Structures are given as C-alpha cells and as structure tokens.
C-alpha cells in the first residue's frame, strides 16, 4: 500500500471513524467547535504520532529478523497461539452463562428472549 492509498483508506476505516466520533461526543464543548476540533486533533496527533512511529520501527526491525521462511512461520505460529491464549479470560467468563442455558438456546434467543441470530 502506498502512502496515498493509506491516507485514502482512512476515509473508510471504521475504527478511525468510531474513535473520532467517540472522542468528539465525549470531549467536544458546545459552542466551542473550532477549539474542540483543534484540541482533540492535537491530542490525537500527540498520542498517535509516537505510537505509530514506534509500531513502524518495531515492524521494520521485525521484518529484518524474519528474513527466512522458517523464522516467519515460527513467528506466525507463536502469534496465533498467543491470540488463542488471549481468549481464555473471555471464554472463562462466558462459559458459565452458556452452560446455564438449555442446549442450543443461545442460537435461537438470548437471555431476554430476543433472537441472537436473525
């Protein structure tokens, strides 16, 4: 992806829109639109630039470390296992609720009787 394509992608990036709407809904001051926009955009820049730069630097360093296909595969397997392990707390919290429902009930209705899958 080129630099221009990456910038253009932000127009359809759902996470960016959600974050922007959330920030403005939470922190914008009524009657002070320009000041709120400048302050929130400045905060996004102040926090986002170092984070993105660090992410880019780690990615560049990692690219050099994963030059062989074996190293790349090992890294992908390790990341997949860590991703699966990160689900353990959520599964442990949700399982008692799912086990309390009659068999298959979670497919046809939630605890309030509303369909989960329409």
pLDDT digits (tens, 9 = 90+) for 61-117: 999 899 899 999 999 999 999 999 999 998 888 888 777 666 655 555 555 555 555
| Strand ranges in the chain using DSSP code E only, listed in sequence order | none
Say what the pLDDT of residue 97 is: 77
Tokens of 96: 């008692």
Say what the pLDDT of residue 105 is: 56
Type and span of the H or E element at 89: helix 88-100
Taking 3-state DSSP, the helix, strand and coil percentages for the chain, each rounded to the nearest 5, stand at 80, 0, 20
Q: What percent of the chain has pLDDT over 90?
A: 46
Whose structure tokens read 């298959």?
A: 104
Instruction: Look at the pTM and tell me if it is higher than 0.85.
Output: no
The Cα 43–Cα 114 span in angstroms is 40
């Amino acid at each position: 992806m080129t630099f221009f394509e990456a910038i253009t992608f932000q127009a359809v990036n759902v996470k960016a829109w959600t974050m922007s709407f959330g920030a403005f809904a939470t922190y914008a001051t009524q009657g002070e639109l320009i000041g709120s926009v400048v302050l929130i955009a400045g905060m996004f820049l102040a926090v986002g630039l170092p984070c993105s730069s660090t992410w880019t630097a780690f990615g560049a360093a990692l690219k050099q470390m994963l030059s062989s296909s074996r190293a790349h595969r090992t890294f992908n397997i390790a990341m997949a296992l860590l991703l699966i392990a990160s689900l353990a707390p959520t599964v442990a919290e949700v399982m008692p609720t799912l086990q309390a429902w009659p068999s298959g009930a979670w497919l046809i209705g939630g605890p309030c009787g509303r369909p989960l899958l329409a």
